[in-house]
A and B are shown apart, each in its own frame.
Chain A
């Protein structure tokens, strides 16, 4: 047991909490119209409450508990935190209490469904959102976390690498976001009336908090206060910087002006992208990965989304899906054992095997997530109806779902 490692992971846990509330909450909250801002903050906040409890009750056990067979899902042996005490579990982290690893992972389970909010923003019924989220965490997140990270997980046994959640967090939430956006349909008036972010300073504040918290997310995923953590920290930082700058330059060239929303979007895309790969690449390659993250996500959001016409309201797929997939593939290209001996060499360092298993992981997880999201969506829609009434959508979710208003016009 190492007190330095333990202190760092406890601190990182708090940093990752900050990413969801208030980071993501304000990042998304500023982007919606003023009548819906509280619904976004509410969804982010209640996810923290609900999934934290789901996690300690049974989610952690399904994800990281002893394999129930075939590497598909963990058993319920660790439900209610049974066997999850202050003794380390060497399978996951030998130098910190098992309970610290559990609570660190809790924050990942929380933020992942919260990312999907960006796709269905401004039109989903609160009750439907709540049921969908709990089911999604249980039947989508927990199995994938087990496959990729859990002891005995079938993808882990094939040698896939996902340092901090490029597949488990970003690809899974991003693909799910796309499917939900397609099934749920467009917001009323989409492309017929202007949809302006109601408070971009909120979005900038949120993006800054996300960047800050991401150091816990990525560097904390080293599960130790060591050189790998330092490498992940630096790779994370420079990838975000490179992607933010690239986005601004692309916009400047395309539209004649760089926007702060563009810089923030680029930075978050860079952060999502570098997540699976930050512990395996040297920082110079992280810059290159970040530049391409901005380019790919820009193309997805500005060109492809516009062409296909789906309403991924806040670009959860365009940022997290595309970024997560690119980052996961980048592991198979840029990883090098010189950076992390426990990793692998990517295609650019002489080994194509890693590239192939990374591709396979992206494909398998994407198909699984798409199918499961479709099933859960249809189920929830049948049980409670997933979309608010048209009239409620015009009035806004704050008043119709939460019975409160964010801003007063008259004192």
Chain B
């Protein structure tokens, strides 16, 4: 089992969701997050005072999958979020030790999907 964490552009969320559904990945947690990468945030001006380093709005997806779904999920996120420009985001993959469905106590691979 793997936990896939993806940081993407907010306006790409719908496309990513659609691509994930196309490969039968329907469960995800979505959060608004702030961050910056190589593009270094942005500058805001309030009454002439420049406030540099403003973090950019990003969307974070947390998706837990079984091994078979890891590559299709990566492919789907990449397809939906890719524009080729700086700021497209990143995908992190970490090993997932356990997964428990709260409603019926199922554990492991069965509980993920």
Residues of A with Cβ closer than 8 Å to B?
Answer: 194-197, 251, 254-255, 257, 259, 261-262, 265, 298, 301-303, 306, 315
Contact A257 B45 (CB under 8 A): yes
| Structural contact, A194 and B45, CB atoms closer than 8 A | no
Q: Indicate if the CB atoms of B45 and A196 lie closer than 8 Å.
A: no
Set of chain A residues within 8 Å of B50, measured between Cβ atoms: 255
The reply to whether B47 and A196 contact each other, CB–CB distance below 8 Å, is no
Docked CA distance A194–B46 (Å): 10
Instruction: Please give me the 9 A-B residue pairs with the lowest Cβ-Cβ distance, nearest first.
Output: A302-B48, A194-B51, A255-B45, A301-B47, A261-B46, A196-B51, A197-B46, A265-B47, A261-B47
Tally inter-chain residue pairs, CB-CB below 8 A: 36
Query: In the bound complex, how far is the Cα of B44 from the Cα of A44, in angstroms?
Result: 28
- Classify chain B's interface size: 10 to 19
Give the complex CA separation of A400 and B53 in angstroms. 29
Residue B54 at the chain A interface, CB threshold 8 Å? yes
Q: Which residues on the A side are within 8 Å of B86 (C-beta)?
A: none
Q: B94 at the A/B interface (Cβ < 8 Å)? A: no
Inter-chain contacts of B46 with A (CB < 8 A)? 195-197, 259, 261
Residues of A within 8 A of B102 (CB): none
Expressed in whole angstroms, the Cα–Cα distance for A195 and B50 within the complex equals: 10
CB distance from B86 to the nearest CB of A (A): 21
Interface of B is mostly: strand
Taken together as a complex, chains A and B put the C-alpha atoms of A254 and B51 apart, in Å, by 15
How close is A30's CB to chain B, nearest CB, in angstroms? 11
Q: Mark B29-72, 1 if CB is under 8 A from A, else 0.
A: 00000000000000011111111111000000000000000000
| Bound form: Cα–Cα A197–B46 in Å | 8
Q: How far is the CB of A190 from chain B (nearest CB, A)?
A: 10
Bound form: Cα–Cα A194–B54 in Å: 8
By CB atoms of chain B within 10 A, which of A196, A254, A257 has the most?
A196
